[in-house]
């Protein structure tokens, strides 16, 4: 039973970055812009969030307060970086895939250069511990307390809050309806006075905000508050794209997909705790391939069933306000 608790406790901090970045991709794609740059946006958020933590970690600020402020910095960094995609893909009509790929290639090199120049290392290392041993009162609840309120991070609770908020914005507000309309039928949206350019900028910007936060949460929950220009975010941005597709561009299905991939990754790093897997004497490297192999298998079997809502006229420009 302790192994089960351990697996769940370690799955959630990994699932949350995937969830947030996939939600960001959902907002962008449903507005009509394919955001391949999620990997780069994650790394931007992780870097600037950790940079902020590095400079304030020696102050009297509480660890969780620093984390929340770092989250805001990461969100701002992701937002600003995503504007480059908006400028190129929406305003200048550049190819979205090529633009996203360029943004993914730019930021690791820039971070590596900056880190070498100012820190003489490949990234930023912080010594602030954001780990929560237990949440008062709630940690004492039978079963659930041990699963969700012990040995965790505040990022888990923030992630769930942002999921609910995203679902409400997406389905229950005029903004969400207009965003989806601009992705599915931009001509019709434009004919009733909706500013399609603005809505697509908004969709990509939300993608940048959530992607930046997801990148910082990855650095906190997976990398223990560190960033590295060489390893980046270990392909989590691309994995989030797979999570988004597997979740069929729907918030709560995306949550299930994120939990699935995160659980596989946690199992891969916990083989010694699972007797029947440990007894197989298979090199752990093969287990670490599980999330990525699962990605290919899932996409192969769901690609025909899971299609993005029709985004007709993405390059359309005539008459847009």
Q: What does each of the 321 residues of the chain score in pLDDT, given as a tens digit?
A: 678 888 899 999 999 999 999 999 999 999 999 999 999 999 999 999 999 999 998 888 899 999 999 999 999 999 999 999 999 999 999 999 999 999 999 999 899 888 888 888 887 888 888 989 988 888 888 888 888 999 899 999 999 999 999 999 999 999 999 999 999 999 999 999 999 999 999 999 999 999 999 999 999 988 876 676 556 788 899 999 989 998 989 999 999 999 999 999 898 888 877 877 778 888 888 888 888 888 788 777 766 555 555 554 445 454 444
pLDDT of the residue at 313: 42
Residue 321 lies in a domain: no
Q: What are phi and psi of 133, to 5 degrees?
A: -65, -45
pLDDT of the residue at 58: 87
Cα(264)–Cα(244) distance, integer angstroms: 17
Residue 317 lies in a domain: no
Cα(267)–Cα(194) distance, integer angstroms: 47
Q: How many domains does the chain have?
A: 1
Cα(196)–Cα(114) distance, integer angstroms: 37
Residue 172 lies in a domain: yes
Residue 313 lies in a domain: no
pLDDT of the residue at 77: 97
Which residues lie closer than 8 Å to 233 by C-beta, 6 or more apart?
Answer: 17, 39, 42, 43, 46, 215, 218
Residue 260 lies in a domain: yes
pLDDT of the residue at 228: 65
Supply the CATH number for residue 192's domain. 1.10.3470
Q: What are phi and psi of 169, to 5 degrees?
A: -60, -40
pLDDT of the residue at 225: 64
pLDDT of the residue at 274: 80
3 state SS for the chain: CHHHHHHHHHHHHHHHHHHHHHHHHHHHHHHCCCCCCHHHHHHHHHHHHHHHHHHHCCCCCCHHHHHHHHHHHHHHHHHHHHHHHHHHHHHCCCCHHHHHHHHHHHHHHHHHHHHHHHCCCCEEECCCCCCEEECCCHHHCCCHHHHHCEEECHHHHHHHHHHHHHHHHHHHCHHHHHHHHHHHCHHHHHHCCCCHHHHHHHHHHHHHHHHHHHHHHHHHHCCCCEEECCCCCCCHHHHHHHHHHHCCCCHHHHHHHHHHHHHHHHHHCCHHHCHHHHCCCCCHHHHHCHHHHHHHHHHHHHCCCCCCCCCCCCCCCCCCC
Residue 310 lies in a domain: no
- The distance from CA 51 to its chain's CA centroid, rounded to whole angstroms, is 19
Residue 311 lies in a domain: no
Residue 314 lies in a domain: no
Expressed as residue numbers, the domain containing 203 is 2-305
């Amino acid at each position: 039973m302790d192994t089960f608790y351990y697996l769940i406790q370690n799955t959630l901090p990994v699932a949350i970055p995937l969830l947030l970045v996939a939600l960001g991709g959902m907002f962008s794609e449903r507005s009509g812009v394919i955001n391949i740059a999620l990997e780069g946006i994650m790394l931007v958020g992780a870097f600037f969030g950790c940079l902020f933590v590095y400079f304030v970690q020696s102050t009297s600020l509480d660890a969780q307060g620093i984390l929340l402020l770092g989250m805001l910095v990461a969100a701002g960094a992701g937002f600003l970086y995503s504007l480059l995609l908006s400028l190129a893909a929406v305003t200048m009509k550049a190819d979205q895939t090529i633009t996203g790929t360029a943004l993914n290639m730019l930021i690791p090199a820039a971070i590596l250069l900056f880190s070498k120049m100012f820190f003489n290392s490949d990234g930023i290392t912080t010594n602030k511990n954001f780990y929560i041993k237990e949440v008062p009162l709630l940690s004492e609840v039978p079963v659930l307390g041990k699963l969700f309120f012990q040995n965790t991070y505040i990022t888990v609770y923030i992630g769930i809050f942002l999921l609910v908020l995203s679902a409400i914005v997406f389905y229950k507000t005029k903004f969400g309806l207009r965003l989806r309309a601009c992705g599915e039928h931009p001509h019709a949206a434009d004919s009733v006075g909706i500013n399609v350019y603005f809505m697509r900028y908004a969709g990509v910007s939300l993608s940048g905000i959530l992607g930046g936060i997801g990148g910082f949460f990855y650095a906190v929950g997976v990398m223990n508050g560190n960033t590295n220009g060489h390893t980046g975010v270990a392909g989590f941005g691309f994995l989030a794209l797979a999570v988004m597709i597997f979740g069929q561009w729907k918030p709560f299905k995306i949550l299930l997909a994120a939990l699935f991939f995160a659980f596989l990754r946690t199992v891969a790093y916990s083989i010694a705790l699972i007797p029947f897997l440990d007894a197989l004497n298979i090199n752990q490297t093969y287990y670490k391939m599980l999330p990525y192999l699962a990605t290919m298998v899932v996409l192969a079997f769901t690609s025909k069933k899971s299609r993005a809502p029709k985004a007709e006229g993405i390059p359309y420009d005539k008459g847009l306000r």
